[in-house]
């Protein structure tokens, strides 16, 4: 079954129950269109990360189907675990392109597959000096590691990047930098994001549409301007109250 070309991912009625009996996803449907950012907010344990894993095909849903258009990449919460501490930055950064299965995207094609120059260029996109290519992850700060994870994700010009709490383990000042960087990259490359966070302020900043999750369900789904509308679900209002306090 095919989906319209302007849709990058469409999930239909996903449900997943873990072996322990916990219902992590309960009839979740969503669509992300080309160039947009769909935000998913919810308290921890609401099934956001399980949803991300199902969409990335790392885990399989029990019921429902997912249709994808093109390649997917991800940036996860913990920048330290996202880079293999034993590998140099360049080897982690170039992993998607090193496989040889994905062609160098158009914005990298003028490097004529020069691995090092490509890596330097990718680092420049996320404001990290090229001299860090031979460094090991422990020599970098959390924010720098997360920038490298972002550079790695955009290196194949994916049709969708799933951002699973990409700023949650960073300092507040660094969080803002990373969010701005993500937004700039989205504009420059026309990227589509699925932005998952428990931080409603970050979700609102990044997204055009917001879905709120609670106990594995999407309880509400609205345009990001309508966040403060009177009709919001109590769960949403609770999340608003958290970040206003």
Q: Which residue has the tokens 């004529």?
A: 112
Cβ 92 to other proteins, closest distance in Å? 7
| Among 62, 113, 127, 134, contact with other proteins (rule: CB under 8 A) | 134
Place of tokens 């490097």: 111
Q: Write out the binding residues for other proteins, residues 71-130 only, by CB under 8 A.
A: 72-74, 76-78, 81-87, 91-92, 95-96, 99, 101-102, 129
Q: What interhelical angle do 172-189 and 142-154 show, nearest 10?
A: 10
Q: How far is the CB of 134 from other proteins (least distance, A)?
A: 6
Strand order in the sheet with 7-17: 23-33, 7-17, 63-68
Shorter beta-carbon distance to other proteins: residue 154 or 218: 154
- In the complex, minimum distance from the CB of residue 178 to other proteins, in angstroms, rounded to a whole number: 16
Options 138, 230, 231, 244; binder of other proteins; rule CB under 8 A: 138
Does 242 bind other proteins (CB under 8 A)? Our answer is no
- What does DSSP assign to residue 105? P
Residue 38 is a binding residue for other proteins (CB under 8 A): no
Helix/strand/coil for 109: helix
Burial class (CB in 10 A: 0-12, 13-18, 19+), 228: exposed
Q: Token pair of 242, please? A: 């958290």
Task: For residue 56, state whether it binds other proteins (rule: CB under 8 A).
Answer: yes
If the CB atoms of residues 122 and 227 are measured against other proteins, the closer one turns out to be 122
Per rule CB under 8 A, is residue 132 in the interface with other proteins? Answer: yes
Among 60, 131, 173, 245, binds other proteins (CB under 8 A): 131
Contact criterion met (CB below 8 Å) for 181 and 150: yes
Task: Report which secondary-structure segment, H or E, holds 79.
Answer: helix 79-82
For residue 135, the SS3 value is: coil
Q: Please select the residue that binds other proteins; options are 16, 48, 147, 152, rule is CB under 8 A.
A: 152
Question: Toward other proteins, which CB reaches closer, 16 or 217?
Answer: 16
| List 13, 22, 110, 139, residue binding other proteins (CB under 8 A) | 139
How is the beta sheet containing 72-75 ordered, strand by strand?
Answer: 72-75, 160-164, 193-197, 37-41, 209-214, 217-223
Q: Which stretch binds other proteins (CB under 8 A): 26-34, 53-61, 206-214, 227-235?
A: 53-61
172, two tokens: 């507040």
From the CB of 103, what's the least distance to other proteins, in Å?
13
Residue 206: name the closest of 39, 51, 8 by CA. 39
* Residue numbers at the binding site for other proteins (CB under 8 A): 56-58, 72-74, 76-78, 81-87, 91-92, 95-96, 99, 101-102, 129, 131-132, 134-136, 138-139, 152
């Amino acid at each position: 079954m095919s989906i319209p070309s302007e849709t990058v991912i469409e999930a239909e009625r996903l449900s997943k129950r873990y072996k322990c009996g916990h219902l992590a996803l309960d009839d979740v449907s969503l669509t992300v269109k080309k160039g947009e950012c769909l935000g998913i907010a919810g308290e921890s344990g609401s099934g956001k990360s399980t949803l991300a894993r199902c969409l990335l095909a790392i885990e399989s849903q029990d019921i429902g189907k997912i249709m994808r258009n093109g390649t997917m990449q991800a940036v996860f919460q913990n920048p330290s675990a996202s880079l293999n501490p034993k590998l140099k930055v360049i080897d982690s950064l170039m992993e998607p392109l090193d496989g040889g299965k994905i062609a160098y995207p158009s914005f990298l094609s003028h490097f004529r597959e020069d691995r090092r120059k490509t890596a330097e260029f990718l680092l420049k996109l996320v404001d990290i000096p090229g001299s860090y290519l031979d460094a090991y992850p422990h020599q970098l700060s959390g924010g720098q590691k997360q920038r490298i994870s972002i550079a790695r994700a955009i290196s194949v010009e994916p049709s969708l990047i799933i951002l699973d709490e990409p700023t949650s383990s960073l300092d507040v000042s660094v969080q803002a930098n990373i969010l701005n960087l993500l937004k700039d990259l989205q504009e420059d490359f026309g990227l589509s994001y699925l932005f998952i966070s428990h931080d409603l302020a970050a979700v609102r900043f990044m997204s055009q549409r917001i879905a709120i999750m609670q106990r594995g369900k999407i309880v509400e789904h609205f345009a990001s301007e309508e966040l403060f509308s009177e009709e919001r679900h109590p769960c949403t209002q609770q999340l608003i109250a958290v970040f206003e306090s």
